[in-house]
Chain A
């Protein structure tokens, strides 16, 4: 079973690496990193902060773009090219195929994110910064977030056409980062009638802020690695849930 998953993962990885979308997405993220220096000039005395914030934001958007443009289209492309028939006619099950796809997609996303993350570290050092725990935590957080995003993209890709799956992944990204702020909206005397609703949303929608450590880079406070570890664990749990859902949907799908 493991061999079959590895074969699908490797094929997915190689296919994604050849995809031009990957290059365009990475170029966008690198462009944002380079542009951060221009904003640094405008900020009077926060050059390094601007460089760090925009570079890390670019990295996070890159993770989203990869999930939307590669992850959400991955299953549909196999069906469209009819390669799915060849694979499934062997003794590879649909569940193994979905898991292999997921592993390959996460591997390629992580590879691109790590390359861009390394570039970002060099960029920060060039402008007088140092690479500490906060930046490492922020980059690790982006990698963990990709676990959840890619699984959602696969789930939606198994359910609907690639365009809807891409938009759905984008909506999931916004919702996942807004639940905490929505819940905080009702703290104090404000919006008491919506308090219960936001509380439920906060509990049942995956909270991507669990692994968002970008704000830590400027606070100067030490990173609590337990928080990051716990956040990473929640991402793994949600990824398993979405992946199981994707496998279930893909098993029922008629070609």
Chain B
């Protein structure tokens, strides 16, 4: 028989058989049959290629996070084992901690113990990467949002606050929580320290947050003053009370403090800073708009334009956002 005929016939037969064989494969490899061996064994088997093995396992796990499994318990076991193995193989694989905790606290949040598993994952990440402010911030957020543990949140954010890369939003959260705990001096000192370091932009943001924190503390003190006396505070001197404010923070809080007719404390300086901050953000957005549309946006195209103060109006011209006298 002609050998070429055998080759062609063989290929045709194999191609035909692949149909039912492939169907059987799909049946055997349903999502629920995922299996990872003991993470310790994975570590031995990966040998020299721990990073590469971690990459491959991650690429296998990532799509499964959003897939439906018939048995959620098996899915949880598969994902947990994978995350454990990947972070054993590559303890500095930050994306895995990041996505892993996000999966556990958002996608899988209804599962029993999801928050505890996310905390365990992030604590493992912090043990391996003690200088990562990002992992600390994520851990703090889980303690705050899922466990409602304010003290733990402050403790973790406090540790993160001295690490490089600690972002201003997290710092703002820390100082707000500190202010709520009546540690006014710490909250203000944090921003005073930041105002003396970094780039001009970082100093500008720190100044804005310093005044926002003052405002937060003054509002708290004004509320407590009203509860204690039965009437609203009307002058800065009303809040000059160690029962309302931490004594060492009183001079800073009272500096520049005024009261609105409705009895709410306010800082004109903060108002100016907020206006300047808004104008800066609006101008940056307008430049992006200009680059993509080829024209400057009109005033009514700006989203969330804050109300201009009495007698003033917003004006946007040649890429500059300013407050002008109202006509």
Interface residues of A (CB under 8 A from B): 39, 42-46, 49-50, 53-54, 56-57, 60, 173-174, 177-178, 181-182, 184-185, 190, 208-209, 212, 214-215, 217-221
Which of chain A's residues have a CB closer than 8 A to the CB of B51? Answer: 49, 53, 56-57, 214-215, 217-218
Distance in angstroms from B101 CB to nearest chain A CB is 15
Tell whether, in the assembled complex, residue B50 and residue A214 are in contact, meaning their CB atoms are under 8 Å apart: yes
Distance in angstroms from A123 CB to nearest chain B CB is 15
Task: Say which residue of A39, A42, A54, A215 sits within 8 Å of B92 (CB atoms).
Answer: A215
Q: Find residues 152-166 in chain B having any chain A CB closer than 8 Å to their own CB.
A: none
Which of chain A's residues have a CB closer than 8 A to the CB of B47? Answer: 173-174, 177-178, 181
Q: Which residue of B lies closest to A174 (CB)?
A: B47
Q: Which residue of A lies closest to B95 (CB)?
A: A46
Distance in angstroms from B27 CB to nearest chain A CB is 25
Q: Which residue of B lies closest to A221 (CB)?
A: B92
Q: What would 18 more interface pairs be, CB under 8 Å, given A39-B59, A53-B54, A218-B92?
A: A39-B56, A43-B55, A43-B59, A44-B62, A46-B95, A50-B55, A54-B55, A174-B47, A177-B47, A181-B43, A181-B46, A181-B47, A182-B44, A184-B40, A209-B48, A214-B49, A214-B50, A215-B51
Which of chain A's residues have a CB closer than 8 A to the CB of B62? Answer: 42-44
Which of chain A's residues have a CB closer than 8 A to the CB of B44? Answer: 178, 181-182, 185
- Interface: B90 (CB within 8 A): yes
- Interface: B285 (CB within 8 A): no
Main SS at interface, chain A: helix
Q: Find residues 42-98 in chain B having any chain A CB closer than 8 Å to their own CB.
A: 43-44, 46-52, 54-56, 58-59, 62, 90-93, 95
Tell whether, in the assembled complex, residue B40 and residue A53 are in contact, meaning their CB atoms are under 8 Å apart: no
Which of chain B's residues have a CB closer than 8 A to the CB of A44? Answer: 62, 95
Tell whether, in the assembled complex, residue A60 and residue B49 are in contact, meaning their CB atoms are under 8 Å apart: yes
Q: Which residue of A lies closest to B52 (CB)?
A: A57
Within the assembled complex, what's the spacing in Å between the Cα atoms of A39 and B59? 8
Which of chain A's residues have a CB closer than 8 A to the CB of B95? Answer: 43-46
Q: How many residues of B contact A (CB 8 A)?
A: 21
Tell whether, in the assembled complex, residue A42 and residue B43 are in contact, meaning their CB atoms are under 8 Å apart: no
Within the assembled complex, what's the spacing in Å between the Cα atoms of A162 and B314? 84
Within the assembled complex, what's the spacing in Å between the Cα atoms of A43 and B90? 15
Task: Say which residue of B40, B48, B55, B56 sits within 8 Å of A49 (CB atoms).
Answer: B55
Which of chain B's residues have a CB closer than 8 A to the CB of A39? Answer: 55-56, 59
Within the assembled complex, what's the spacing in Å between the Cα atoms of A99 and B101? 55
Tell whether, in the assembled complex, residue A53 and residue B92 are in contact, meaning their CB atoms are under 8 Å apart: no
Distance in angstroms from A122 CB to nearest chain B CB is 20
Tell whether, in the assembled complex, residue B55 and residue A177 are in contact, meaning their CB atoms are under 8 Å apart: no
Closest 3 CB pairs between A and B? Answer: A219-B92, A177-B47, A177-B48
Q: Which residue of A lies closest to B96 (CB)?
A: A46
Task: Say which residue of B49, B50, B58 sits within 8 Å of A43 (CB atoms).
Answer: B58
Which of chain B's residues have a CB closer than 8 A to the CB of A45? Answer: 95
Within the assembled complex, what's the spacing in Å between the Cα atoms of A213 and B311? 66
Most chain A C-beta atoms within 10 Å of own C-beta, residue among B48, B58, B62, B93: B48
Task: Say which residue of B46, B48, B55, B92 sits within 8 Å of A60 (CB atoms).
Answer: B48
Within the assembled complex, what's the spacing in Å between the Cα atoms of A219 and B280? 36
Q: Find residues 201-217 in chain B having any chain A CB closer than 8 Å to their own CB.
A: none
Q: Which residue of B lies closest to A57 (CB)?
A: B52
Tell whether, in the assembled complex, residue B92 and residue A57 are in contact, meaning their CB atoms are under 8 Å apart: no
Which of chain B's residues have a CB closer than 8 A to the CB of A50? Answer: 55
A-B contact pairs, 24 of them (CB 8 A): A42-B62, A43-B58, A43-B62, A46-B55, A46-B58, A46-B93, A49-B51, A53-B54, A56-B51, A57-B48, A57-B52, A60-B49, A173-B48, A177-B47, A178-B44, A181-B47, A185-B40, A185-B43, A185-B44, A214-B48, A214-B52, A218-B51, A218-B90, A219-B91
